[in-house]
Amino acid sequence: MHTQCPHCQTIFSVTAAHLNIAQGHVRCSHCRHIFNASNHLLKQVPNQTTAKQLQVDEKPTTYQEDDVPELLQEDIYEPPRGRSWKSFFFLSFIVILLAGTLTVQVIWFWQPDRILQHPQIRPWLDRFCYTLLCTLPTTRNLESFYMQNNLAQVHPDIDKAIQFEATFVNSAFFPQPYPELQLTFEDFNGNSLAQRRFKPAEYLSQPPIKNQEMRPNASVHIKLDLADMDKVIEGDNIAAGYHFEFF
**137 falls within a domain:** no
The reported pTM is 0.49
Query: What is the reported pLDDT for 88?
Result: 80
Q: What pLDDT is stored for residue 247 in this prediction?
A: 93
User: Can you list the residues of the chain whose pLDDT is less than 50?
Assistant: 50-51, 53-54, 56-76
At 82 the pLDDT is 56
Does residue 48 belong to any structural domain of this protein? Answer: yes
Quote the mean pLDDT of the chain.
Answer: 78
Is 239 part of any domain?
yes
Q: Are residues 157 and 226 in the same domain?
A: yes
Residue-level pLDDT at 105: 79
Claim to verify: residue 70 and residue 40 sit in the same structural domain = yes
Number of domains in the chain: 3
Report d(CA 186, CA 152) in Å as an integer: 13
CATH of the domain at 178: 2.60.40
- Sign of the dihedral through C-alpha 155, 228, 180, 207: negative
Residues 242 and 164 in one domain: yes
Q: What is the 3-state secondary structure (H, E, C) of 47-63?
A: CCCEEEEEEECCCCCCC
- For residue 16, what are the domain limits? 2-76
Amino acid at 134: C
Shared domain check, 99 and 47: no
**Is residue 207 a part of any domain in this protein?**
yes
Gyration radius (Cα) of the chain, Å: 42
Domain endpoint, select from 66, 99, 132: 132
Tell me, yes or no, whether 185 and 91 share the same domain: no
Q: Which of 188, 185, 129 is nearest to 153 (CA)?
A: 185
Q: What's the pLDDT score for residue 169?
A: 96
Residue 32 in domain: yes
| In a shared domain, residues 90 and 48 | no
How many other CB atoms are found less than 10 A from the CB of residue 190?
A: 7
Within this chain, do residues 149 and 241 fall inside the same structural domain, yes or no? yes
